[in-house]
Amino acid sequence: MPKTFDHEKLIVYQKSIEFIVWLQNILERIPKKYAGYDQIERASTSVPLNIAEGNGKFTQRDRCRYFDIARGSALECAAVLDVFVAKALLEKHEILQGKEILLNIVSMLVGLIRSNSTNRVFEPKVQYGLDQD
C-alpha cells in the first residue's frame, strides 16, 4: 500500500482537488482576459494548499488560520462562478456542480475549524443551499 501524507486522507482535501478538476473544464471556455479567470485560478489552488499546510501545523490556532484561509478561498471561488453567470459567460445550470462541491468544502472546513478551536465564538448553524432557479 503506498504511503500518503496525512492531508491526502482528508475528504475535504480530496474534494478540493475534485473541484480543481471540475474547474479545468469550465476554464477552457472562459477567455483569460476576464479578471475572474485569474482570480478563480488562484483561489481554487489556494484551497488544497492551505488545507495541506494547515493540517501539518502543530497548534490549533495555526491549523484554524490556514483552514480559515482555505474556507475564504472556496467562498471566493463560488462568488467568481456567480460573476461568470452575471457576465453571461456561463449559464447558471453549468456552475451548479462546482458550487455543490464548494458547499461541501466550506461545510467540512467549518467542521475542522470548530474541532480545532476550543475558545472561538461561533454563530448559530445556518443551512445554506443552492438556488435552483
CATH number (domain holding residue 91)? 1.20.1440.60
Q: What domain count does the chain have? A: 1
- Please indicate, yes or no, if residue 1 is contained in any of the structural domains: no
Q: What pLDDT, on a 0 to 100 scale, did the predictor assign at position 4?
A: 92
When the pLDDT of each residue in the chain is averaged and rounded to a whole number, the result is: 92
Looking at residues 46-52, what average pLDDT do you find?
98
pLDDT of 74 reads: 98
The stretch 108-114 carries a mean pLDDT of 95
Q: Distance of alpha carbon 3 from its chain centroid, rounded?
A: 25
Q: What angle do CA 90, 104, 6 make, to 5 degrees?
A: 120
- Provide the pLDDT for residue 123: 58
Give the residue numbers spanning the domain of 15: 7-115
